[in-house]
Amino acid sequence: MSLLKPFSKLPGLNTANILLVESEEQFQQSLADALVEETSVTVNVRLAKSLPLPMENDESRPRIDLVVFIINLTSELSFQSAEASLKYLDPGYFLGKVCFMVTNARNASSPAERLDAVRKLASSLHCPLLFAEDQTPDGVASATERLLTILKVAAGLVPIATALYVSNLTRCTLPLDIDLPSFD
Amino acid sequence: MAATQNLSDSDQSSVSDQSVSSRSGNRSIRVAEKERRKNEAEDPFVLSLKYFSDVEAGTPFHGNDKLEKNLVQVEKVAYSQGLPPEAVSIMLEFAMSLRMGTSACVRVLKCLIPASVVPQEAVVRAVVWLSIGKMPISTQVLFIKWVLTVFDMIDAKDQLRAIYGFIFNFVTDENLCPFICHLLYLLTRKESVRVFRVRKLLELQSKLGRQPFLLHLLSLYKVFCPELVTLSIPSRMKSGFKNHISPWKSALIAVQKRNGLQGAFSNSLVFTHKDKTNPRKRKHCHLEFPDLIPALNKEARSEQSSSRRVVPLVQLHSFAQLLENMHRIELPAQMGSLLGSSLALQYLDCVQDESALLRLNFWLGYAFHEEFLFCGDGGPSQTSEEALQFLNKLLSAQHFLQEGFSSSEVFLYKFLNVWDGSLLRPQILGLLSNIPVVPSSQIRRLLFEPLMQLFFTSSLFFKCGLMECLNNMLLKWLTWHSIYALEDDLDISLNSHTSINMTLSGFKDSVMELIHFVGRLASVGLQLEGCHCLLLSFVLDFYETVCDTFLKYGLPLIVMPPAGVFYPALFATDPVSVDRLAYIMHRYKVNLTSAKSQEKVTEQVFHISRQTFREFNHYVVVMVNCLWNSRMFHPGMGVQLGEELLLKSNVSQYGSSFDLVHHPAFMSYAVNFHQKCWPGKKDMDLNSIKHSKPWSWYLEYLFTQGYDGLKHFVQSNISWQLKEDDGQGDAQQR
């Protein structure tokens, strides 16, 4: 068991590395296929079911610039697995190099409490929380685009912007009770 | 299979025959009918129905093979094509009479998926069975849920309304109450609101607490009879009736989809000439706007005395007719249908009756919730085309009424929190730009936080789209203000239908919050996108609105752009951005001077802070020094660099590197001008343009290229005489 560290290796030239963690391994493959299509930078995608990552590839593994936890809201297991994986990350990652991506948020079979729990988790870790429509090609394309936007900043490819700076703007905020806006 | 298909088709037509006589002359149907009769005897489905209508009470349920066989047969038809009306009647009667006990009843109720319509009589009979009271409570709930699910498919509502009091009695049951309230909400008309009912509901409320379903029903009562309900109802309520994720929903959608396709096909063959005139031939696609259907049927209408005659909207065909019958319009059974008809929208626009809007908002809120926030298993993919049309229609209705519906506003606040930023983007942003002014205390939580998270994680095009949306939102707010502001007490009531009243200062706060928010988004967004000129253009659009708030919209509020917007525009590489910035600065100046002079004349205290003037002056000095005076890095300017650093850069005359000649945006014009001015000259010396005469020609040349913004800016800010030797003036300072 080892911590994944953000700065233990040197970055590659014009390269960004992203790690997709999803216990169900459904969405990550299609995301990965779309992510590597990016042409302006070399994007390496690593897939994992959960953390910690196995020791044997440790040497050959590049520096991971962004860790994405994909959570399927219809499954409690998916959430628990992501939560359990978090402790294998170096605290340095939480300075803007982790984000959560949630699927099926609008599905009738995903309970509102679970979404609240995910929101609480993301906001307590100061991480962005993205929502994705994983069933449609458009949804996958848009999710890819948004991950790339974050990834480029996290990999230091955007001048003047740092991951910490941007994550301060994009981090999830605590859930709010919208049902009762007391307007009067 | 073919036989059952025939059965359901012709049954559909026979039901409509009863009500619409014009259909009877259809030959092909008769032929089909004959064919059907021939096949009927052998059809297992018909035999099964016969079994259910004849079966004796007390026949055992368990281990009854015959029943099992017939039930499976019915279920097969139900899930594949839906049940024709008469089958619905038979099965409902069988189930509700509990002839074979509760478990049979539950199983039958679960497969009651109507193909076209549900006969009203069947529902009324079932309600009668309900009150015999032998049924366990969970089954009763199941039945009411079924009625709610198929409510729109019940062919008429008059008899159901006639037993309103009967149904009302069920509210006393705690388990049934939420569902009964929902049903009553759908059935309530003005006549149904009575003192004793209001009293009963209030009594229930004191017992059960302020339940949303009770509040919703009471609020409808209040709209109809405000004198009877003295209770104060919160202006925005929790989305009222719980979403009944019923076992029928997905099956129903699937059946309708299938039948919808088939229906379209058969329509084109048979009913080509009258498919529009038959109000009963509506499709029940869940997101489609229903046609206008009068809530009463024909007989009931003719019975009513002429003095209380109501006219259903569907019978009106012109605006003149609408005006004549304005006082006795009968609203359609399904409020969503209003959005599809322009006459109905006219009616909504001018009528003061709040019940129409209340019901419409309820319908919309429900539809939004069902289709966008709480999707069934079908998922978003299957509904996207319908959803697109639904939102487009809604948008055009809002555009017509020039205001948003409160239900769409509440929906957006929820939806933004689970949006992926691309699903139906143009429509969602369109709805967003229609929302009424949000109080400044709420605006951050409701709007800014979700939008900011979306903005900074999304692509350039989303950023541009959101900028445009926020610009439209501001434009609408300002327009509302200029229309609804009352002059005397500076109090404005926004949005004629919802009763939000806002003080002028409250409104100003909200607008200011919005402008500052966009300023923040724009500064950081431009930085992240490397000052992309497309994004810059949308940002400048926004500031073109902001700079004219005082003169165009009469709002005494002037906010300057942040440095993060000003400098990227000033140093942009495309001349259009610089020109637009110049225009914006010119408009700021016009607004500020007129505000100041008005302040002097009227002695009215609306305060534009000194800070705003200071910022404006600073920006003008920077612009003039930079574009005109070639004093780029002078001390006291916005951009300061150390002397030695500048020398190190090896740029000679660094001060003039952003004047109108050397500015990267205008360099090509300067070169072009130089060639035209001195055609024979081999070595190009751009500095020679700066002499008095060529300078004025050069300006003239730029202005003829369409740079009116620059022209205005130069004329209003620079006092410049040609006679002066250096040909350069100075900024007019306030």
pLDDT, residue B468, reads 96
Six-digit token string for B42: 């052998």
The ranges assigned to domains in chain A are: 16-170
Task: Report how far residue B120's alpha carbon sits from residue B126's, in angstroms, rounded to the nearest whole number.
Answer: 10
pLDDT, residue A144, reads 94
One domain for residues B212 and B111? no
Q: What is the mean pLDDT of residues B146-153?
A: 82
In total, the C-beta contacts within 8 angstroms joining chain A to chain B are 107
One domain for residues B265 and B118? yes
| Helix/strand/coil percent split, chain B, to 5 | 65, 5, 30
Asked whether residue B127 is domain-assigned, the answer is: yes
Could you tell me which residue, B513 or B52, shows the higher pLDDT? Answer: B513
For B13, B461, B522, B541, the CA distances from B534, given in Å and listed in that order, are: 57, 9, 12, 11
Asked whether residue B662 is domain-assigned, the answer is: yes
Asked whether residue B33 is domain-assigned, the answer is: yes
Burial B677-699 (b: 16+ CB within 10 A, else e): eeeeeeeeeeeebbeeebbeebb
Last residue of a domain, one of B227, B246, B265: B246
Short-list A129, A67, A72, A143, CA closest to B422: A143
The C-alpha of B79 sits at a distance from chain A's nearest C-alpha, in angstroms, of 21
Find how far residue B509's CA is from the centre of its chain. 25
Q: Are strands A98-103 and A66-72 parallel, antiparallel or unpaired?
A: parallel
Asked whether residue B49 is domain-assigned, the answer is: yes
The C-alpha of A64 sits at a distance from chain B's nearest C-alpha, in angstroms, of 19
Please report the ipTM that was assigned to this predicted complex: 0.92
DSSP class per residue in A131-183: EE-TTSHHHHHHHHHHHHHHHHHHTT-STT--HHHHHHHH-------TT----
Kind plus residue range of the DSSP H or E element containing A70? strand A66-72
pLDDT above 50 (res B440) = yes
Task: Report how far residue B341's alpha carbon sits from residue B330's, in angstroms, rounded to the nearest whole number.
Answer: 15
Task: Report how far residue B101's alpha carbon sits from residue B314's, in angstroms, rounded to the nearest whole number.
Answer: 44
**Secondary structure of residue A184 in the 3-state scheme:** coil
- Decide if A170 and B380 are in contact by the 8 Å CB cutoff: no
Q: What is the mean pLDDT of residues B581-593?
A: 94
Widest CA span of chain A, in angstroms?
62
Which residues on neighbouring strands pair with residue A4, listed in sequence order?
A89
Task: Report how far residue B501's alpha carbon sits from residue B498's, in angstroms, rounded to the nearest whole number.
Answer: 9
> Residue type at B637?
M
Count how many domains chain B has.
Answer: 3
Q: What end-to-end distance do the CA atoms of chain B give, in Å?
A: 87
Query: For residues A19 and A101, is the Cβ–Cβ distance under 8 A?
Result: no
For A22, A148, B612, the CA distances from A118, given in Å and listed in that order, are: 14, 22, 43
Most confident of B51-60, B145-154, B671-680, B720-729: B671-680
In sequence order, the 6+-apart residues with CB closer than 8 A to the CB of B586 are B709, B712, B713, B716, B717
Q: What is the mean pLDDT of residues B685-707?
A: 87
Residue of A26, A27, A66, A138 for testing the chain B interface, max B β-carbons within 10 Å? A138
pLDDT above 70 (res B659) = yes
Please state which of the ranges B9-13, B215-219, B567-571 shows the lowest mean pLDDT.
B9-13
Confidence of residue B12 (pLDDT cuts 50, 70, 90): very low
Most confident of A11-20, B67-76, B387-396: A11-20
pLDDT, residue B390, reads 85
Query: For residues B293 and B282, is the Cβ–Cβ distance under 8 A?
Result: yes
Beta-strand ranges (E) seen in B282-396 are: 311-312, 329-330
Confidence of residue B234 (pLDDT cuts 50, 70, 90): low
Task: Report how far residue A152's alpha carbon sits from residue B408's, in angstroms, rounded to the nearest whole number.
Answer: 35
Kind plus residue range of the DSSP H or E element containing B525? helix B504-528
Kind plus residue range of the DSSP H or E element containing A66? strand A66-72
DSSP class per residue in B627-644: HTS--TT-TTSSS---HH
Short-list B463, B368, B457, CA closest to B408: B368
Q: What sections of B632-717 are H helices per DSSP?
A: 643-648, 667-677, 692-704, 708-717
Residues in B closer than 8 angstroms to A150, CB to CB, are: 457
pLDDT above 90 (res B314) = no
Burial B461-473 (b: 16+ CB within 10 A, else e): ebbbbbbebbbbb
Burial B604-616 (b: 16+ CB within 10 A, else e): eeeebeeebbebb
pLDDT, residue B562, reads 95
Name the CA radius of gyration of chain B, rounded: 35
Confidence of residue B576 (pLDDT cuts 50, 70, 90): very high
Six-digit token string for B613: 């003037």
pLDDT above 60 (res B21) = no
pLDDT, residue B113, reads 86
pLDDT, residue A31, reads 93
Task: Report how far residue B711's alpha carbon sits from residue B544's, in angstroms, rounded to the nearest whole number.
Answer: 17
Short-list B289, B386, B398, B273, CA closest to B333: B289
Asked whether residue B294 is domain-assigned, the answer is: no
- Decide if A181 and B381 are in contact by the 8 Å CB cutoff: no
> What is the second-level CATH architecture of the domain A16-170?
3-Layer(aba) Sandwich (3.40)
pLDDT, residue B171, reads 86
One domain for residues B131 and B257? yes
Task: Report how far residue A171's alpha carbon sits from residue B278's, in angstroms, rounded to the nearest whole number.
Answer: 54
One domain for residues B29 and B119? yes
For B35, B169, B506, the CA distances from B271, given in Å and listed in that order, are: 19, 44, 58
pLDDT above 50 (res B433) = yes
pLDDT above 60 (res B281) = no
Task: Report how far residue B238's alpha carbon sits from residue B516's, in angstroms, rounded to the nearest whole number.
Answer: 31
pLDDT above 60 (res B20) = no
- Decide if B457 and A106 are in contact by the 8 Å CB cutoff: no
- Decide if A139 and B410 are in contact by the 8 Å CB cutoff: no
Kind plus residue range of the DSSP H or E element containing B492? strand B491-494
Q: What end-to-end distance do the CA atoms of chain A give, in Å?
A: 55
Nearest to B374 among A108, A139, A161 (CB): A108
Q: Prior bond to A52 cis, omega within 30? A: yes
The A residues from 114 to 153 touching B (CB cutoff 8 Å) are 115, 128-133, 135-136, 138-139, 141-143, 145-146, 149-150, 153
Asked whether residue B420 is domain-assigned, the answer is: no
Nearest to A176 among B445, B527, B530 (CB): B445
pLDDT above 70 (res B377) = no
pLDDT, residue B606, reads 63
Asked whether residue B667 is domain-assigned, the answer is: yes
pLDDT above 60 (res B733) = no
B51: containing domain? 1-135+249-277
Tell me: the pLDDT tens digits for B627-644?
Answer: 888 887 777 776 777 788
List the Cα angle B221/B227/B232 in 5-degree steps.
65
DSSP label of B115 = S
- Decide if A106 and B380 are in contact by the 8 Å CB cutoff: yes
Residue of B238, B417, B418, B420 for testing the chain A interface, max A β-carbons within 10 Å? B420
Torsion, Cα B601 B605 B608 B613, to 10 degrees, reads: 50
pLDDT, residue B533, reads 92
- Decide if A129 and B381 are in contact by the 8 Å CB cutoff: no
Instruction: Report CA torsion sign: B195, B196, B199, B205.
Output: negative
Torsion, Cα B204 B207 B209 B213, to 10 degrees, reads: -30
Task: Report how far residue B431's alpha carbon sits from residue B424's, in angstroms, rounded to the nearest whole number.
Answer: 11
Residue of A nearest to B250 (CA): A108
Residue of A nearest to B417 (CA): A131
pLDDT, residue B198, reads 87
One domain for residues B175 and B70? no
pLDDT, residue B270, reads 25
Q: Mean pLDDT, consecutive 10-residue segments, chain A of 184 residues? A: 81 91 90 92 92 85 93 92 92 92 86 88 92 90 93 90 90 64 34
Task: Report how far residue B152's alpha carbon sits from residue B133's, in angstroms, rounded to the nearest whole number.
Answer: 26
Q: Is B238 on the interface with A (CB under 8 A)?
A: yes
Asked whether residue B467 is domain-assigned, the answer is: no
Average pLDDT, chain B: 77
pLDDT, residue B651, reads 79
Q: Is B242 on the interface with A (CB under 8 A)?
A: no
Name the CA radius of gyration of chain A, rounded: 16
Please state which of the ranges A149-153, B32-36, B96-100, B490-494 shows the lowest mean pLDDT.
B490-494
One domain for residues B231 and B254? no
Task: Report how far residue A43's alpha carbon sits from residue B294's, in angstroms, rounded to the nearest whole number.
Answer: 60
Short-list B370, B398, B371, B366, CA closest to B387: B371
